[in-house]
Structure 1
Amino acid sequence: MDLLALADFTLVARHGGFGRASRESGRPKATLSRRVADLESGLNLRLFERGARALKLTEEGRALFEKTSVLLAELDETTAAIASGGDAPRGRLRVSAPLLFSQAAMGKLAAQFAMKHREVRLEVTTEDRPVDMVEEGYDLVIRVNPDPDESLVGRIFLRDRIVVVASPGLHRPAGGAPVPVVERGGGTGDQLSVWELTKSGKKNRLAVQPVLSLSSLFMVRDAVRANVGAARLPLSLVANDLAAGTLVHWGDVEGPEVALWALYPSRRLLSARVSAFLNFLKEAFPEGTPEELAAYIR
């Protein structure tokens, strides 16, 4: 099988069209089209559905892309390592990370990684949505409590927990009256609810009344600092405030732990770039505690 044709097919599939693949690679569009057509002819398979304005992988094309994109990347890394006489990480590393973690730490982490591995070009995209690692060309994704995915493997590198905090000036009303609270997302309203809390091994219930809704947990924290109301926030985000006494801890929210996973496509050979980034995360968070993440937050 023609490896050059496979490489051109993978290039077109990754960029979603001949024109974009041509612009990104500098290869002539006609050459890419001809090589893909030759590959389809040799395999006796249609790899793309060609519409008037869109190019879409067929089921067979998608299956081939998922395999060849990984194998060709490993082949490139192997030949580069042999040519350089070593296995130092190099090339582009694309990472997708969730918004809160990116705002809290990724800028500093990315800078430290770039200085340590100067031959790796790190690209970080911030988004909370699920991504298709193969189709969108990511080497690694960081996600909070991800759903099981048989096509991915990974490891937990950081753990957190949700706590209820408030300004020292906000007191819990007597007689079980609702406490004003700040929430992330959704909307404010007069709907009363109850939070289940645990503190010092004792469980208690807190009646709450939403008074403010904000889209960012950093915004929620700042509103709590301003004494608008209490809030449920990750411990890492408020650990420094708790230590300084600018916020007080009312209890832990009952529920599953918050775990940050580093995920990558399941395959036998792990790229040197991904291995380097995984090791870097381990060095940055050796114990994986909320306090270690809090050290990056102001």
Structure 2
Amino acid sequence: MDLLALADFNLVARHGGVGRAARAAGRPKATLSRRVAELEASLGLRLFERGGRTLKLTQEGRALHERTAALLTELDETAVEIASGGSTPRGLLRISAPLLFSQMAMGRLAAGFAMKFPDVRLEATTEDRAVDMVEEGYDLVIRVNPDPDETLVGRAFLRDRLVVVASADLARPGDGSAVPAIARGTASGRQVWKVANAGETSDILIDPVLGLSSMIMVRDAVRAGVGAARLPVSLISHDVAAGSLVHWGDVDGPEIALWALYPSRRLLSARVSAFLDHLKTAFPTGEPHELAAFVRAQG
């Protein structure tokens, strides 16, 4: 198989069209079109559906792109490393991270990484959805409690848990009456929160009065005394220690685990390995208090 034709095919697939690929690479459209046509002829397969101004990968084209794009990247990186005489992290590193972690820590993490590795151009985006790493061109994703995925490998680098907290001015009723609460998402009807204290489980009847889309907004509303809420320990531990918020109990449920994931089909690049080490340095044990301290240190 012609590697140059394969590289041009992946260039066109990544940009979604010959024209866009030609502009991005500064290459003639005719050359790219010819290379793709030659690859299709050599394989005896149609790799693109051609219609209008866009190209759409066929099933065979998608499979070829998914299986070869990472391998070609590795070849390029290996050539660069050999030419430079080492495995110094360099090039573009694209990361997707969830909203709350991005708001709390990603800015400072990215800044520290950029200063440590000036030859890496880091691009971090905020996505709570599970992005498609291959299709969207990410090198590493950070996900909360990810579903098992045989195409990805990685490690949990932070663990957290949800607790119920409220302003010190809001008393927890002892007669089973409903407590005003702030919900993450939709403020639907009354419901019961199960909490654990000293190994014993109890119920809190809550009446949602606010529905907010981010944990930061929920925390700020709790601080204002609007109601109780379920929040991660890392986000409120300082407020609890200072006495401005009161801990009513741990939420009865699974812990929160943040994972750093990358495709298992490609060798671990120097820049991804460097960012994983960067996370390990920032959070050596992965306990909630480390994230809380990290955020607190930002002032």
When normalised by structure 1's length, the TM-score is: 0.97
1:101-122 per-position Cα deviation (integer Å, ceiling 9, x unaligned): 0000000000000111111111
Aligned to 1:291: 289
Residues 71, 266 of structure 2: 8 Å contact kept: no
Matches within 5 A, 1:215-294: 215-267=213-265, 269-294=267-292
1:295 deviation in Å? 2.0
SS in 2 for 1:174: coil
Q: Give distance in 2, aligned partners of 1:23 and 1:165.
A: 54
Aligned to 2:85: 85
1:53 deviation in Å? 3.6
Q: Give distance in 2, aligned partners of 1:40 and 1:124.
A: 35
Q: Give distance in 2, aligned partners of 1:16 and 1:253.
A: 46
The number of residue pairs the alignment matches comes to: 296
Question: What are the ranges of 5 or more consecutive residues in structure 1 without an aligned counterpart?
Answer: none
Q: Give distance in 2, aligned partners of 1:22 and 1:64.
A: 20
Q: Which amino acid aligns with 1:2?
A: D
Q: Give distance in 1, aligned partners of 2:21 and 2:243.
A: 55
Aligned to 2:40: 40
1:188-228 per-position Cα deviation (integer Å, ceiling 9, x unaligned): 34x21110000122211101000011111101100000000
Q: Give distance in 1, aligned partners of 2:91 and 2:136.
A: 17
Work out whether 1:166 is the aligned partner of 2:166: yes
When normalised by structure 2's length, the TM-score is: 0.96
Q: Give distance in 2, aligned partners of 1:30 and 1:126.
A: 37
Match of 2:196 among 186, 198, 214: 198
Q: Which amino acid aligns with 2:237?
A: A
Q: Which amino acid aligns with 2:65?
A: F
1:128-162 per-position Cα deviation (integer Å, ceiling 9, x unaligned): 11111111111110000111111111110000000
Q: Give distance in 1, aligned partners of 2:267 and 2:174.
A: 61
User: RMSD over aligned Cα, in angstroms?
Assistant: 1.1
1:27 deviation in Å? 1.6
Q: Which amino acid aligns with 2:171?
A: H
Aligned to 1:151: 151
Question: What are the ranges of 5 or more consecutive residues in structure 2 without an aligned counterpart?
Answer: none
Matches within 5 A, 1:109-148: 109-148=109-148
1:78-118 per-position Cα deviation (integer Å, ceiling 9, x unaligned): 11111011111110011110010000000000000011111
Q: Which amino acid aligns with 1:175?
A: D
SS in 1 for 2:248: strand
Matches within 5 A, 1:11-90: 11-90=11-90
Aligned to 1:175: 175
